[in-house]
Chains A and B, each alone.
Chain A
C-alpha cells in the first residue's frame, strides 16, 4: 500500500517535503517511522531513542487526527492515508 508523508517547517529539510512510501499491508505508524522507510536523520528527529516513543513535542496526524488519540505508534495505516508531521509548535 502507498502512504503519503508530509513534513513541515524544518522537518522538511530532513524528511523532504512530501514523500510517498510503499508499505506492506497491515503496517502501523511505527513501521513507517522506522529508518527502513524514512531517512535516519528524520527518524532521529522524531523518536526519543531512550523510550522508543514519539518525542512529546512532535505532532503527528493521520488524516488530520492526532495519532495520540488513535493508537499512537500502533495506529494502523491504510492505502491512501496521509501522515503529517510537525515540529514543536506555538503561535497564535
Chain B
C-alpha cells in the first residue's frame, strides 16, 4: 500500500474539450512501475496506439515526477516527460533537473497527462490544487527565457515553469521541453508534440508537504546517502568544479571523442573547449537542482569578442562536444553562443549540433549544393554553427526547415542517409562506440534511439575503468544492468548522477522508506527490467524490429583514423545476439513469454 512519497493524484487535461479531471493514482501501477518514467510508460502503453503519428491529436504527453521528488532525498528535482517521440517514432522519455517536479508535488499532483489539441495556444496554471487552462496567444512565438519570465509574471513570482520555445511551436523534431528557462528535457523531440497540441507550458506553485511512509527510517536513509555522496570524490566536489564538461579531456585522451561528424574520434584542439578552459574563461557560478548536494550545473558568460556579454546555463559536456568538436570547432565562445541559442529556441543541443555536423559533411562532399547553403558550411567555422542554429531555430529558408528535422531526414533528403550519426534516427551523444564498445550496444538497443543516459556504461568502461573499453566480452550484461538500473531510477525522481556514489540498494532504501513499498535491490532492478521490457513492447507494436537495433555504417566499418583508438571499428554483431539472450528475448529481439510472465507483464 502507498503510505507516502506519492501525492496519490493525477491531473488529466484534455485540450480538445478543455476538461480537467483529477484522478486517483493507481496503486497497483505504482508498485509495479514506481512513478516517473515507469508509470508514464504504462499510461502510454495502455492508452495510446503505438502506431499513431506522434504529432497527431491522438498522442499524449505525460509530465511525471517520482515518489522521491519534493522530499529531502538527495538530487530529487527531476521531472520526466513521456510521449511517443516524433524524432524516433519510439516511446520517448526525456527528463530534466531543476525545481518543477517538487513544485508539482507540492501542488498536490504526481503526474499531469496532456491529451487532445487546443484550438488556440494555451498554458496551464496549477496553484494549490486549483487548475486552469489559460490563453497563451501572446506567449506564442516567445523565446524560452522570455516565456519563463512571462509565465511567472502572469501567475506568481515564485512559480516554477515548464515551457516550449519557437522550435516546439514550429514542431521541429529537435524541439525540447524546458524547465525554469534553462533546464532541458532535451531529447527525442518531445517539445514538438506539445507544439502540435498548441500547448505552450505550465506554471505551478503549491505548499503541500510531501509525506513519507516511515519518517524516522527515511531520515536515516537520507543522511546515509548524503554522506556517501559527500565523501565520494566526484559527487562530493569534482562535479561542482568542472561540471560534466570535465569529460572533454577524458574522452579525447582515450580517442573516443567523435570529431567532424565522426570522421575521426580524436580532436587535437580539445583543450580549448575543455571543462578546465571553460572554468577559467567563462564560469560565473555553479548551480544545483532541488535538494542536490552535487551541484553539477553552471552559469557562464562570454567575456570577449563579438558575442561578449551573452550569458546562459551550461554548457554540458554533450553540448560542448556536439556544437564543438563534432563540427570541428575549437572556438569556445561560438560554442557557448550556439548553446545559449539552442536553449532560447528550445532545441536539443545534442541533436542540433550533430545535425549541423552532418550538414557540414554533406556540404564539403558536395551533396548539399552551394545554392541550398546561405553561407559556407565548413567544418571548423564557429560562425557557421551559430548561424546554422539560428536558421534551424527559426526554420528560415530551405536549409533551416531541413535542419529542424534532424540529421537523418536531412541526409536522406540529400540521398546520403549513411552520413547521419544516429540510431533510430536520433543523433548520437558524445562517445564514439568504436573506442568504447559497450556504449555502442547501448546506442543500438536504447528504446528511445541513440542515447547515453539510458545505460551509462561509460561509468564502468571509461571513468572507473572497471572493465576494458575495447573488449566485447561481458558488455551485453553490463548494458542490461545499466539500462535496468536507470529505468528504475528515472521512475523515482532522483538524478542519475547520484549513481556515481549510490548503488541500487541505497536507492531502494530511500524508495521503500518513502513509499512503504517493500523494495530491496533485487526488486528495484526487476522493476527497471519490467519498464525496459514494456518500452520494448511499445516499440515492437509501433513497428520496430531487430533491423532497427543497429548503428551507422561508418561506426561499423570505417576504422578511426587517428588518436589513441586508431584502427578501431565497432563489431556490434559480437554483442547483439548475446544481449538478446541476456534479456530473455528471441533472436528477433522479441521478449519471450517466460520473460513477460516473470516480469508480470501481460500481453494482449
Interface residues of A (CB under 8 A from B): 6, 8-10, 12, 57, 59, 61, 63-66, 68-69, 84, 86-92
Q: Closest chain B residue to A64 by CB distance?
A: B564
Q: List B contacts of A10 (CB < 8 A).
A: 238, 241
Q: Closest chain B residue to A87 by CB distance?
A: B238
A91 touches B239 (CB 8 A): yes
A88 touches B453 (CB 8 A): no
Q: Closest chain A residue to B294 by CB distance?
A: A90
A92 touches B456 (CB 8 A): yes
A61 touches B458 (CB 8 A): no
Does B516 make an interface contact (CB < 8 A)? no
Does B243 make an interface contact (CB < 8 A)? yes
A90 touches B250 (CB 8 A): no
B253 touches A89 (CB 8 A): no
Known: A61-B253, A92-B453. A66 touches B247 (CB 8 A): no
Say which one of B33-41, B68-76, B229-237, B412-420 lies at the interface with A.
B229-237
CA distance in complex: A36, B390 (Å) = 54
A61 touches B238 (CB 8 A): no
CA distance in complex: A6, B252 (Å) = 13
CA distance in complex: A88, B250 (Å) = 11
Does B381 make an interface contact (CB < 8 A)? no
Q: List A contacts of B462 (CB < 8 A).
A: 89
Q: How many residues of B contact A (CB 8 A)?
A: 39
Q: Closest chain B residue to A12 by CB distance?
A: B276
CA distance in complex: A84, B248 (Å) = 13
Known: A90-B239, A91-B239, A92-B496. A9 touches B452 (CB 8 A): no
Which of B255, B318, B463, B469 lies in contact with A90, CB distance below 8 A?
A: B463
Known: A8-B276, A69-B468. A89 touches B247 (CB 8 A): yes
Q: How far in angstroms is the closest Cβ of chain B from A2?
A: 19
Main secondary structure on chain B at its contact with chain A?
helix
Q: How far in angstroms is the closest Cβ of chain A from B526?
A: 24
CA distance in complex: A54, B521 (Å) = 31
B255 touches A88 (CB 8 A): no
Does B263 make an interface contact (CB < 8 A)? no
Interface residues of B (CB under 8 A from A): 232-235, 238-239, 241-244, 246-247, 249-250, 253-255, 275-276, 296, 317-318, 452-453, 456, 458-459, 462-465, 468-469, 496-497, 500, 563-565
Which of A66, A69, A88, A92 lies in contact with B497, CB distance below 8 A?
A: A92
CA distance in complex: A10, B500 (Å) = 19
Q: How far in angstroms is the closest Cβ of chain B from A50?
A: 17
Counting chain B CB atoms within 10 Å of each CB, the highest count among A57, A65, A66 belongs to A66
Q: List A contacts of B250 (CB < 8 A).
A: 8, 59, 86, 89
Main secondary structure on chain A at its contact with chain B?
loop
Q: How far in angstroms is the closest Cβ of chain B from A9?
A: 6
Q: List B contacts of A87 (CB < 8 A).
A: 233, 238
B238 touches A92 (CB 8 A): no
Known: A9-B241, A89-B234, A92-B456. A64 touches B296 (CB 8 A): no
Known: A9-B241, A64-B563, A91-B244. A57 touches B275 (CB 8 A): no
Known: A8-B250, A8-B276, A64-B255. A90 touches B564 (CB 8 A): no
Q: List A contacts of B458 (CB < 8 A).
A: 92
Q: List A contacts of B456 (CB < 8 A).
A: 92
Please list 29 pairs of residues, one from A and one from B, whose beta carbons are closer than 8 Å in the complex, sorted by A's number. Answer: A8-B246, A9-B238, A9-B276, A57-B234, A59-B250, A59-B463, A61-B564, A63-B564, A64-B253, A64-B254, A64-B564, A65-B254, A65-B564, A66-B469, A68-B465, A69-B468, A84-B249, A88-B232, A88-B234, A89-B234, A90-B500, A91-B243, A91-B317, A92-B318, A92-B452, A92-B453, A92-B456, A92-B459, A92-B496
B276 touches A92 (CB 8 A): no
Q: Closest chain B residue to A92 by CB distance?
A: B456
Known: A59-B250, A64-B253. A89 touches B238 (CB 8 A): yes
A91 touches B241 (CB 8 A): no
Q: List A contacts of B468 (CB < 8 A).
A: 66, 69
A92 touches B317 (CB 8 A): yes
Q: How far in angstroms is the closest Cβ of chain A from B243?
A: 7
Known: A9-B241, A64-B253, A64-B255. A89 touches B246 (CB 8 A): yes
CA distance in complex: A28, B226 (Å) = 40
CA distance in complex: A84, B233 (Å) = 18
Q: How far in angstroms is the closest Cβ of chain B from A29?
A: 14
Q: List B contacts of A68 (CB < 8 A).
A: 465
Q: List A contacts of B233 (CB < 8 A).
A: 57, 87-88
Known: A9-B242, A10-B241. A90 touches B497 (CB 8 A): yes
